[in-house]
């Protein structure tokens, strides 16, 4: 496996020598257990919903809406340093424009009920106008990180099995003043 030189330079720039030394001294962690939000500052995982409606489809749709409502104060608190209860109240229409996607971590659906654990991913550029600080300090301008791994002549995107992903999870960008934007990736992604 070979990392692209540009990726290596970008990783060193983002992490810095001090973080590398600190990471070397830290004990190894089980990456599979690490919460996904450590890898993406604008993703809130583990949002529980339990909704009843006239049909299963309506219940699922209402569950997604409820997940957005529950995730927003948590994201706001993470980014602003305030308490979730202090988050500005946003209507469903505004939340719909801020949400990039909803991932299903676990779900159970019957005729008129939807029970699920969801992860809500917010669009960083749209959500950032509601908070501009981390622990009272301004975050940097967005930095796009494109993770590419060459394996056997095939260039792959970001996967949980890659060494880059494991290092990124250990880095924990949510505590960083750097505003890192990572597009989602999986084994089917190809970069030219």
Q: What rounded mean pLDDT belongs to the chain?
A: 72
Between CA 161 and CA 164 the distance in angstroms is 9
Q: Where are the alpha helices (DSSP H) in 48-146?
A: 56-80, 92-98, 124-127
Between CA 172 and CA 163 the distance in angstroms is 15
* Chain segment 36-94, per-residue pLDDT in tens: 333 478 899 999 999 999 999 999 999 999 999 999 999 988 887 788 888 888 899 99
As a whole-number percent, the residues of the chain with pLDDT over 70 amount to: 62
How far from the centroid of its chain's Cα atoms is residue 52's Cα? Answer: 28
Between CA 161 and CA 23 the distance in angstroms is 19
Between CA 175 and CA 187 the distance in angstroms is 28
pLDDT at 158 over 70: no
Q: Give 166's contacts (C-beta < 8 A, 6+ positions apart).
A: 31, 160
Between CA 74 and CA 47 the distance in angstroms is 10
Average pLDDT over residues 1-29: 42
C-alpha atoms less than 13 angstroms from C-alpha of 23 in its C-beta half-sphere: 15
pTM of this prediction? 0.51
């Amino acid at each position: 496996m070979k990392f692209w030189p540009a990726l290596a330079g970008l990783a060193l720039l983002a992490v810095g020598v001090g973080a590398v030394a600190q990471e070397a001294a830290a004990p190894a962690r089980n990456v599979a257990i690490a919460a996904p939000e450590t890898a993406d500052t604008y993703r809130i995982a583990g949002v529980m919903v339990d909704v009843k409606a006239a049909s299963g489809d309506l219940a699922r749709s209402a569950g997604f809406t409820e997940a957005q409502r529950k995730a927003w104060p948590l994201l706001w608190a993470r980014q602003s340093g305030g308490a979730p209860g202090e988050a500005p109240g946003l209507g469903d229409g505004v939340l719909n424009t801020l949400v990039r996607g909803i991932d299903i971590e676990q779900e159970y659906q019957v005729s008129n009920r939807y029970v699920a654990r969801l992860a809500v991913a917010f669009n960083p550029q749209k959500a950032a106008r509601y908070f501009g600080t981390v622990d009272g300090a301004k975050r940097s301008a967005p930095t796009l990180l494109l993770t590419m791994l060459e394996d056997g002549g095939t260039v792959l995107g970001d996967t949980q099995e890659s060494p880059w992903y494991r290092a990124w999870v250990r880095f924990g960008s949510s505590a960083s003043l750097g505003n890192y934007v990572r597009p989602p990736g999986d084994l089917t992604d190809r970069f030219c």
